[in-house]
Amino acid sequence: MRDYQQIRDYLPPQEEKRFQVLITTRKEYLSATIATFRVEVLKEKDALDLLRSYLKDNRIDTQIEAAKLLCQDLGYLPLALELVARLLVRRQDWKISKIRDKLAEKGLDEPILAKNPKFHGEMTAERGLKAAFNLSWEELHSEPEAQILALYLSLFALAPFPKGMILDLFPDEDGDTVEEWLTDSLVHLSLVQDNRDGWYEIHPLLRRYFRDKLEASPHAEPAKRRYCGIMAKKSAEMPENLTVEIVEEFKPFLLHLQASVGEYPQYIADEDLLWSYTGLASYYNGQGLYAIAEPYCQACLTATRTHLGDNHPDVATSLNNLALLYESQGRYTEAEPLLLEAINIVRERLGENHPHTQTVYHNYLRMLS
């Protein structure tokens, strides 16, 4: 059901208890008199069972890890799982990994996720996946701001994200207006899921749908720059000394911080380079997870050198941080030249008596002792 007003007059009166009417719709809210039951995606076990119901040749259980990853790729969405399962029935020699490779390459444009007209009678669903998404997208044609918000949200990693960061994507707009686009349009049409705790998330396949539209739009570059700015600000909140509480507090943000430096590094502003990487490095370094922290320290040094030049103070800070990470592991011969280079930079750029110069020099003397 797409338009409640078209059926409202045909529904039995509310006081009439003899009849129960079931309405299926993508809309989150229809009327105060209608109880809403949200249909969730499948759990992993149920998704695997759905695949098994089509594939009787034991292919799922002999390739169980690949099957689990396939279910994850498809976001446990029944329509997507059914489309893939029906194709595998017709492709007896295909491995599940081949399906995953094809989906990774073409996403929603992969014919696997389209309904094959040759087998129209097999399925009750009228459309393939992208066509189904297009219906909801078309309902937003008169709300271009909500469409733009959806494109921006596709930049978040595949994890819940907080309302505060959503509002920060549009700093020049009134927060209530952005919330209206979010709640009354995207959540209402089930394009974004409200987790009811101030956090939201997007289904993996819808995220891919929105991302494809973003990349084809003029909004891609400003959206990525804004996203990276928000993540740099969050990363800069990472304290030097971690507690168990701080580790837990930052955990929900990790995938989003990693997306900034991993997927969109070229859109990070020069002034945000240092913190974009250092926050993540500090998070893992503070827990003694040196092997995870090291690539972020190295990437920070590379990024600051490339964008700011070899003699920039942020390069010195990057050298200092990488050296301290090596020192924590007893890798003194690797740490020493980094600290010496950092000292030379800050002496030249900031002067002998600058606090930053003194800090780097102190770190060097402490290591020697």
- Give dist(CA 351, CA 116) in Å, integer: 70
- Mean pLDDT, the chain, integer: 89
User: How much is the average pLDDT of 107-121?
Assistant: 66
| pLDDT at residue 242, as a whole number | 94
Of residues 229 and 124, more confidence is placed in 229
User: How much is the average pLDDT of 280-302?
Assistant: 97
pLDDT-derived band of residue 108, with 50, 70 and 90 as boundaries?
A: confident
- Give dist(CA 51, CA 82) in Å, integer: 7
Q: For residue 9, what are its two tokens?
A: 């007059």
Where do we find the tokens 């995220």? Answer: 207
Amino acid at 338: L
Q: Which of 176, 202, 198 shows the shortest CA–CA distance to 189? A: 202
User: How much is the average pLDDT of 128-149?
Assistant: 88
Q: Give the pLDDT confidence of 44-84 residue by residue, as tens digits.
A: 999 999 999 988 888 899 999 999 999 999 989 888 898 88
pLDDT-derived band of residue 20, with 50, 70 and 90 as boundaries?
A: confident
Of residues 253 and 36, more confidence is placed in 253
Domain residue ranges of the chain, discontinuous segments joined by +:
1-37, 44-131, 140-217
User: How much is the average pLDDT of 81-101?
Assistant: 88
Whether pLDDT at 4 is above 70: no
Name every residue whose Cβ is closer than 8 Å to that of residue 247 and which is 6 or more positions away in sequence.
283, 286, 287
pLDDT-derived band of residue 33, with 50, 70 and 90 as boundaries?
A: low
| pLDDT at residue 56, as a whole number | 81
Contact 231, 280 (CB under 8 A): no
Of residues 114 and 282, more confidence is placed in 282
| pLDDT at residue 192, as a whole number | 95
Whether pLDDT at 6 is above 80: no
DSSP 271-303: GGHHHHHHHHHHHHHTTT-HHHHHHHHHHHHHH
Contact 338, 322 (CB under 8 A): yes
* Percent of the chain residues past pLDDT 90, beyond the cut: 64
Amino acid at 113: L
Q: What is the chain's alpha carbon radius of gyration, rounded to the nearest angstrom?
A: 26
Check whether domain 140-217 has CATH 1.10.10.10, yes or no: yes
Q: Which long-range contacts link 289-297 to residues 24+ away (Cβ below 8 Å)? A: 290/325, 290/328, 290/329, 293/325, 294/322, 294/325, 296/261, 297/321, 297/322, 297/325
Q: Give the pLDDT confidence of 193-233 residue by residue, as tens digits.
A: 999 889 999 999 999 999 999 999 999 999 999 999 999 99
Which range (95-99, 172-176, 320-324) has the least confidence? 95-99
| pLDDT at residue 109, as a whole number | 80
Contact 123, 86 (CB under 8 A): yes
User: How much is the average pLDDT of 250-270?
Assistant: 98
Whether pLDDT at 125 is above 60: no
